């Protein structure tokens, strides 16, 4: 059986394309980790935000927590998009 570029005989998980720079790999892993924690926080917010009091910005604490996680996720995705488009234009690739 022929080996592919990674030398794993076609088995296993491949997270990055061959030839991806270490900087791009670390950036990808960083954003994956940040978004994973935000999504896990959204799934488990009831553990630490299960009360109505205090009222923050006119919302109960639980609702404020949900809105805060949505805003954090949006900001992380916007930053990730900006950095991704920056690397694409830096390499001179067309979109």
pLDDT value at residue 74: 92
Q: Does some domain include residue 5?
A: no
37: enclosing H helix or E strand: helix 22-43
Q: Is the pLDDT of residue 95 over 70?
A: no
Residue 37 belongs to some domain of the structure: yes
More confident residue, 33 or 93: 33
> What is the four-CA torsion angle of 33, 12, 14, 39, rounded to 10 degrees?
-20
Tell me the pLDDT of the chain averaged across its residues: 79
Let me know if residue 78 belongs to a domain. Answer: yes
Rounded CA-CA distance 3/7 in Å is: 5
Instruction: Decide if 85 is inside a domain.
Output: yes
- Of 15, 26, 16, nearest to 83 by C-alpha is 26
pLDDT at 19: 83
Pairwise pLDDT comparison (39 vs 9), residue with the higher score: 39
Residue 10 has what pLDDT?
67
Please check whether residue 62 lies inside any domain of the structure: yes
Into how many domains does the chain fold?
1
Query: Per-residue pLDDT averaged across 34-41, rounded?
Result: 85
- Residue 34 falls within a domain, yes or no? yes
Residue 3 has pLDDT above 50, yes or no: no
């Amino acid at each position: 059986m022929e080996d592919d570029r990674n030398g794993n005989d076609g088995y296993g998980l491949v997270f990055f394309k061959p030839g991806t720079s270490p900087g791009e790999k670390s950036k990808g892993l960083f954003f994956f980790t940040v978004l994973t924690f935000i999504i896990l926080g959204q799934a488990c917010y009831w553990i630490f935000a299960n009360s109505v009091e205090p009222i923050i910005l006119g919302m109960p604490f639980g609702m404020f927590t949900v809105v805060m996680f949505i805003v954090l996720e949006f900001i992380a995705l916007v930053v990730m998009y900006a950095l991704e488009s920056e690397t694409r234009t830096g390499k001179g690739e067309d979109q």
